[in-house]
């Protein structure tokens, strides 16, 4: 509970338009979009500058009042939600593009900048910022970096972590770490910015980032291919990478059940291929103007009928958008089918077929009739292993087994050398579960970093770290 004095100081620090106590205005910030998590707070702070963030954190640290940073509120593991009345810190007003350097191939954006806005700024400069997510119309750069977001182009460009040149971060005590350097090489000790990427706001609050830009591709080829099984997908990916010289940017796997859900529930979608197949891959590759990428793609898809049974290549941007609509709607299309227990996991690419076989068999033995819908970024080993309730079964009873089923799936992931969180973070959903899979030494180092950078434990408490 904030004292009257602390409340007044925080309001003053955030500025005249930088706070609200209106429950109606606060309410959208307290609900996770799937409806799984519901928070509470009496104070939402909305600073518009790094100096205001600094002042706010200094006060919270002095008074030992916990605070939860929030970006676009698109997270799926509850990391952005205040559960116990903590002060909520929205970075939404810090949304300026501070710099675009087309020749230097970089851009500086504030943490509250919407990802789509970054894309547009890069595009206006005839450059590309490759981080691409389904939520890019509402997620923010600060949230993307705090969760080390991945998306569909990780195969070519890497995760958010690999797209950052520098950061501006406010520490728990209000000190500002100005690391907004755009250098490609800097060997002057610890790479401190990496501590805060993927830390989910537990070590400091990211307020701005210097981001890498890339040349815009002159040629883009998008294909939708039918395959007999996940093993064929792994083989096809390897061949395409060899034949294109590593120009494949996205390689997404979709099971037939996922496509059926999309066709049934998402308007204006059609089956791209005439005959049904148990599995599909959505492939995208980009190159310079002189590479003749389409010819390479056509030859690769036609080379082995046992590997690819049918395929279509987008002939226009509209057709490309239709193919991507299938992939991007796969999660949404599961909602009308009933409850879904979701897993964001990764395993070594070569072991994906075996993992899918074992995990599917295990889940269906636990819940007869369960409908696994595994899809996602097979090119970087990230599978969204979602399980839809059996037809006609009780939703509530099925969802009540979330922890049991997730434990079984995560144990298999661990056995295969994988990760229980590939791109969504740990938040509150998995922060205790991680103790089961990380070594004692790793957990000790994580705890030591937290104690050092946030000794009073005010930054996003109860998230990411076990305890």
- 302-334 pLDDT, tens digit per residue, is 999 999 999 999 999 999 999 999 999 999 999
Look at residue 27 and give its three-state secondary structure.
helix
The pLDDT value given to residue 227: 98
What is the DSSP secondary-structure string of 414-449?
HHTT-BS-SSS--TTTSTTGGGGTS-HHHHHHHHHH
Instruction: Report the pLDDT averaged over residues 86-104.
Output: 98
Looking at residue 341, its pLDDT comes to 96
**Residue carrying the six token digits 């239709």:** 322
pLDDT in tens, 335-369: 999 999 999 999 999 999 999 999 999 999 999 99
More confident residue, 143 or 1: 143
What does the pLDDT look like over 244-277, one tens digit per residue? 999 999 999 999 999 999 999 999 999 999 999 9
Taking residues 390-409, what's their average pLDDT?
A: 96
Q: Where are the domains of the chain?
A: 4-90, 97-215, 219-328, 338-423
Please tell me the distance from the alpha carbon of residue 88 to that of residue 19, in angstroms, as a whole number. 10
Residue with tokens 């119309």, as numbered in its chain? 137
Q: Retrieve residue 426's tokens.
A: 């740990």
Q: Given this model, what pLDDT does residue 321 score?
A: 96
Q: What is the pLDDT of residues 420-446, one digit of tens each?
A: 999 999 999 999 999 999 999 999 999
Domains 97-215 and 219-328 are alike in CATH topology:
no
The rounded distance, in Å, linking the Cα atoms of 141 and 117 is 10
Instruction: Give, as one character, the DSSP assignment of residue 323.
Output: H
What pLDDT was estimated at residue 76?
87
Distances (CA, A) of 292 to 116, 287, 295, 317, 430: 29, 8, 6, 18, 45
3-state secondary structure at position 189: coil
> Is residue 290's pLDDT more than 80?
no
Question: Does 2 have pLDDT greater than 80?
Answer: yes
DSSP structure class, residue 411? H
Q: Mind listing the pLDDT tens digit for each residue in 197-245? A: 999 999 999 999 999 999 999 999 999 999 999 999 999 999 999 999 9
Separation of alpha carbons 30 and 434, rounded Å: 25
For residue 87, which phi and psi values (nearest 5 degrees)?
A: -60, 135
d(CA 91, CA 100) in angstroms, rounded, equals 21
CATH of domain 219-328: 3.30.70.2190
Q: Which residue has the higher pLDDT, 139 or 1?
A: 139
Q: Report d(CA 352, CA 413) in Å as an integer.
A: 10
Q: Where are the alpha helices (DSSP H) in 4-131?
A: 4-14, 23-26, 50-63, 115-124
Bridge pairing between strands 44-45 and 382-388: unpaired
Domain 97-215 belongs to what topology? 3.30.465
Tell me if 389 sits within 8 A of 325, measured CB to CB. Answer: no
Q: Which tokens go with 130?
A: 């490759």
**Residue 135 pLDDT:** 87
Which of 361, 357, 364 is closest to 393 using CA atoms?
Answer: 364
The residue assigned the tokens 């990411």 is: 464
Nearest alpha-carbon partner for 381 in 423, 409, 415: 423
How much is the pTM? 0.93
Q: What strands, in cross-sheet order, belong to the sheet with 106-110?
A: 97-101, 106-110, 205-212, 164-170, 176-179
Contact (CB, 8 A) for 67 and 457 = no
pLDDT of 291 reads 78
C-alpha 250: how far from its chain's center? Answer: 15
Q: Say if domain 338-423 classifies as CATH 3.30.70.2740.
A: yes
Residue 262: in which H helix or E strand, if any?
helix 256-265
Architecture of domain 4-90: 2-Layer Sandwich (3.30)
Of 89, 75, 90, the C-alpha closest to 36 is 75
- How many CB atoms within 10 Å of residue 40? 13
């Amino acid at each position: 509970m904030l004292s009257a004095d602390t409340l007044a100081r925080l309001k003053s620090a955030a500025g005249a338009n930088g706070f609200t106590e209106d429950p109606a205005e606060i309410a959208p910030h307290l609900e996770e979009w799937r409806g799984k998590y519901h928070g509470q707070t009496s104070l939402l702070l909305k600073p518009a500058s790094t100096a205001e963030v600094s002042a706010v954190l200094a006060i919270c640290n002095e008074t030992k009042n916990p605070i939860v940073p929030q970006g676009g509120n698109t997270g799926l593991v509850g990391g952005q939600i205040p559960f116990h009345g903590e002060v909520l810190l929205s970075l939404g007003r810090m949304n300026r593009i501070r710099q675009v350097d087309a020749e230097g191939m970089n851009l500086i954006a504030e943490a509250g900048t919407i990802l789509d806005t970054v894309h547009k700024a890069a595009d206006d400069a005839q450059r590309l910022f490759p981080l691409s997510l389904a939520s890019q119309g509402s997620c923010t750069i600060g949230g993307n970096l705090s969760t080390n977001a991945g998306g569909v182009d990780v195969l070519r460009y890497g995760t958010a972590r690999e797209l950052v040149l520098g950061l501006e971060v406010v520490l728990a005590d209000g000190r500002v770490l100005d690391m907004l350097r755009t250098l490609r090489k800097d060997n002057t000790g610890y790479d401190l910015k990496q501590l805060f990427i993927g830390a989910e706001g537990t070590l400091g609050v990211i307020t701005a980032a210097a981001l890498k830009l890339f040349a815009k591709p002159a040629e883009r080829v998008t294909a939708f291919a039918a395959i007999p099984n996940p093993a064929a997908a792994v083989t096809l990916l390897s061949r395409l990478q060899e034949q294109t010289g590593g120009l494949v940017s996205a390689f997404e796997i979709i099971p037939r059940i996922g496509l059926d859900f999309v066709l049934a529930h998402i308007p204006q979608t059609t089956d791209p291929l005439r005959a049904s197949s148990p599995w599909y891959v959505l492939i995208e590759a980009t190159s310079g103007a002189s590479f003749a990428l389409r010819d390479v793609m056509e030859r690769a898809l036609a080379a082995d009928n046992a590997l690819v049974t049918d395929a279509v290549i987008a002939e226009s941007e509209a057709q490309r958008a239709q193919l991507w609509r299938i992939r991007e709607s796969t999660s949404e299309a599961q909602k009308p089918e009933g409850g879904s227990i979701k897993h964001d996991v990764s395993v070594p690419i070569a072991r994906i077929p075996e993992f899918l076989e074992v995990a599917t068999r295990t889940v269906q033995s636990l819940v007869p009739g369960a409908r696994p819908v595994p899809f996602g970024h097979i090119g970087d080993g990230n599978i969204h292993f979602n399980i839809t309730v059996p037809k006609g079964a009780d939703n509530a009873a099925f969802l009540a087994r979330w922890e049991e089923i997730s434990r079984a799936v995560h144990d298999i992931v661990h056995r295969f050398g994988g990760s229980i969180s590939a791109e969504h973070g740990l938040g509150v959903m998995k922060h205790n579960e991680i103790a089961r899979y990380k070594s004692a030494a790793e957990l000790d180092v994580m705890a030591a970093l937290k104690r050092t950078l946030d000794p009073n434990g005010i930054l996003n408490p109860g998230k990411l770290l076990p305890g």
